[in-house]
A and B are shown apart, each in its own frame.
Chain A
């Protein structure tokens, strides 16, 4: 990995070199990904799975090669278990509507945690309203962890599905996904993990986790926006009802009867985001070229550095102090509202996220309207965190 691989870092913002600390919102893209995406439009611009001409073959091959890369990336058994979606949000909605909805009814429960992103709350609220099932929430601790005993205490035969994030976007907490899956399975429930924040940071193995469903987004993994992956165990995906219907998901259509394609095409109606998927393939290659274990170790060093540096600022409080975290530093300051912090550090060229991070229940749990959040990507350095700390001292001076 070289910082030069990321063209966005070559710019100045407000006259200062860009310090990008918002990778949990979306990661910057390496040149290899940008080239892969533009290459599709510039050369291999064709629809897939259809024509016999050369361009279509090239596009189809690159598209399906990404399915194999995503399979290997997740440790899945088969490419039939890899469904391309528009992102984690659609992946979760697909499971909610195509798998859960036909199976849920009054008396059933869906178990989530108080740490979830809205995209792993609202689809379950909707499906519960549709089916009469009940949504149950496992509370979180002051550190921002979901205690396993609290999960276990809410698991019984009524729970049909446990849907939790693998890593919290708001706080960076890493959950013990393997243990959550074990507990869910022991109670007869299936388990879905929102892996949007895990995929860029942790080595993943869905079979070792024994995940039934696993969702992630390309754009947080240094890939393009508008593309995601849903992994599902083959038997479970096969149980899904059609999610969207139309082209590519059918075997034959007459006005009397339609028969459906096999997996994974069955769940991928319409022309997909071809260039985006191929860009995801380039992103996976880029990440695997460095190695997720290497990235993880490097990021943990940087997280320790950043945690210490921010903790040294008077009047700053870190929100989310779980024992296992990825590179997310969520904080509030006595001196200023997160929104003011965001604007002032931006004037120093430092990009952080401010707000509720699409996790309003997390904010409510901590009794705050919002946090400022610095999140790390593979290109970040200790100097980036030093720049943040300098900018936060400016905030303190300004609001003193």
Chain B
């Protein structure tokens, strides 16, 4: 049960229910579509990038608490960051939720709340859907699926 509490912290439940930056962006420069065919989660991610800086980032879609909270926190974390910082954070987040490395709490900041996902291998795809979608959006790829 403690692992479950670790996964579903108040913060995650809150962002799952009331996601931040849950909207569309007028004149977005980047857009990504993500889909998790296992659970039907769908996300549309939009960014407004000026030069190398993410001026705005927002998402819409439907998913479980983990994927929604993860997307919400991602947008908060990356607002105002550079694309290079976003890529680095993506890498750190991935290795944290896959349990590959001891989380770098300084770099991850609020995202560290998802460290508990590593204990739930079946839920890693939920937590990473928004991030894979981000990666596709900034690398200019087509829709991604986390299979």
Q: Which of B8, B37, B41 has the most CB of A within 10 A?
A: B8
Pair A399/B65 contact, Cβ less than 8 Å: yes
Pair B66/A340 contact, Cβ less than 8 Å: yes
Q: A339-B64, A339-B123 are in contact. Are A355 and B39 (CB under 8 A)?
A: yes
Could you say which residues of chain B place their CB within 8 Å of the CB of A399? 13, 16-17, 65
Pair B42/A369 contact, Cβ less than 8 Å: yes
Q: CA–CA, A347 to B116, complex, Å?
A: 14
Pair B38/A355 contact, Cβ less than 8 Å: yes
* B51 in the interface (beta carbon within 8 A): no
* B141 in the interface (beta carbon within 8 A): no
* A343 in the interface (beta carbon within 8 A): yes
Q: A339-B66, A369-B62 are in contact. Are A347 and B1 (CB under 8 A)?
A: yes
Task: Give the nearest-CB partner of A356 in chain B.
Answer: B40
Task: Give the nearest-CB partner of B123 in chain A.
Answer: A343
* B7 in the interface (beta carbon within 8 A): yes
Give, as a whole number of angstroms, the nearest-CB distance from B24 to chain A.
Answer: 20
Give, as a whole number of angstroms, the nearest-CB distance from B41 to chain A.
Answer: 7
Give, as a whole number of angstroms, the nearest-CB distance from A315 to chain B.
Answer: 14
Could you say which residues of chain B place their CB within 8 Å of the CB of A354? 39
The A348-374 residues at the B interface (CB cut-off 8 A) are: 354-356, 360, 363, 368-370
Task: Give the nearest-CB partner of A14 in chain B.
Answer: B1
Q: CA–CA, A340 to B122, complex, Å?
A: 11
Give, as a whole number of angstroms, the nearest-CB distance from A122 to chain B.
Answer: 14
Query: Which listed residue (B3, B40, B41, B123) contacts A347, Cβ 8 A?
Result: B3
Q: CA–CA, A319 to B1, complex, Å?
A: 29
Pair A339/B4 contact, Cβ less than 8 Å: no
Q: CA–CA, A14 to B126, complex, Å?
A: 21
Could you say which residues of chain A place their CB within 8 Å of the CB of B8? 340, 344, 398
Could you say which residues of chain A place their CB within 8 Å of the CB of B1? 14-15, 347
* A336 in the interface (beta carbon within 8 A): yes
Task: Give the nearest-CB partner of A344 in chain B.
Answer: B4
Could you say which residues of chain B place their CB within 8 Å of the CB of A355? 38-40
Q: CA–CA, A89 to B77, complex, Å?
A: 45
Pair B40/A343 contact, Cβ less than 8 Å: no
Chain B 1-37 near chain A by CB (<8 Å), digits 1 or 0: 1011001100001001100000000000000000001
Could you say which residues of chain A place their CB within 8 Å of the CB of B122? 343
- Sample (12) of A-B pairs whose CB atoms are under 8 Å apart: A15-B1, A336-B64, A337-B39, A337-B64, A339-B64, A340-B8, A343-B7, A347-B3, A356-B39, A369-B41, A370-B40, A399-B17
Residue ranges of B at the interface with A (Cβ–Cβ < 8 Å): 1, 3-4, 7-8, 13, 16-17, 37-42, 62-66, 120, 122-123, 126
